Amino acid sequence: MLNYIWGFMILIGVLCGVATGNMEAVTNAAIDSAGEAISLCITMVGVVALWMGMMQIAQEAGLVDRLTRGISPFLHFLFPRIPRDHPAFGYIATNVIANILGLGWACTPAGLKAMEELANLERERGNPQYLQEGKERVASREMCIFLILNISSLELIPVNMIAYRSQYGSANPARVVAPAIVATLISTITAVLFCKWKDRGMRGRDANR
């Protein structure tokens, strides 16, 4: 869907350039943007390498395990139906920690593995939607909660935003840290309240069946 949206926007831009006689400006903008994209990618590679290395050091030092144990009560509160020893729980914890530290790329593999394990959990529960290969599937309750939590996650260090601001010449790239913490804290609290409200409603519906 995003490919269609971006393709449509590019097409509209080119057509507007032709209609207004500004094709030269459109061509120059495309060339300049390509150069900026390459420069930004080089910058982001350095940022990602730094923080991925820091994440690896934290994992080797046992910090990630301690953080996982620290947020376990919160995750058990959100996912009471996931067994404590299930692999999905560990992947969810890793994803949440990476999100909190602002390591968006680092959290993606853990998020994908968490979804896989949540699907396996549904197979273990005998959910018919997950027992037949190729059959259309419906996201489970835990999958929906995890996705909402992942999108709204609290972020202490907005690494990506700091890198973008630095790349485009901001005088104080780290100034967004405090607003980002406040904004993501509010979004996380809202997400948790919403998930618990919906989960309570679904439990009540299941009890009435």
Residue 124 and residue 65: Cα distance in Å, rounded? 26
Tokens found for residue 156: 């202490």
Give the pLDDT confidence of 129-164 residue by residue, as tens digits. Answer: 676 665 556 778 888 888 888 888 778 777 777 777
Domain boundaries, the chain: 62-207
Question: What would the pLDDT profile of 71-83 be if each residue is shown by its tens digit?
Answer: 888 888 888 888 8
pLDDT at 18 over 50: yes
d(CA 97, CA 62): 13
Residue 106 has pLDDT above 70, yes or no: no
Collect contacts of 196-204 with beta carbons under 8 A, ≥24 apart: 196/78, 198/144, 199/141, 199/145, 202/141
Mean pLDDT to the nearest integer, 33-48: 74
Distance CA(68)–CA(112), nearest Å, equals 18
Q: Tell me, what's the pLDDT at 158?
A: 77
- Asked whether the beta carbons of 142 and 107 are under 8 A apart, the reply is no
pLDDT of res. 132: 65
User: For 44-63, what is each residue's pLDDT tens digit?
Assistant: 677 667 766 776 777 788 77
pLDDT digits (tens, 9 = 90+) for 179-193: 888 988 898 888 888
Per-residue pLDDT, averaged over 73-100, amounts to 84
With both helix axes pointing from N to C terminus, report the angle between 23-60 and 104-124 in degrees, rounded to the nearest 10.
70
pTM for the full predicted model: 0.66
Q: What are 160-176's pLDDT values in tens digits?
A: 777 778 777 788 888 88
Q: What percent of the chain has pLDDT over 90?
A: 0
Confidence at residue 207, expressed as pLDDT on a 0 to 100 scale: 46
Burial of 142: CB neighbours in 10 Å, binned 0-12, 13-18, 19+ = buried
| Average pLDDT of the residues of the chain | 78
Distance CA(134)–CA(105), nearest Å, equals 29
Asked if 186 contacts 59 with a C-beta cutoff of 8 angstroms, the reply is: no
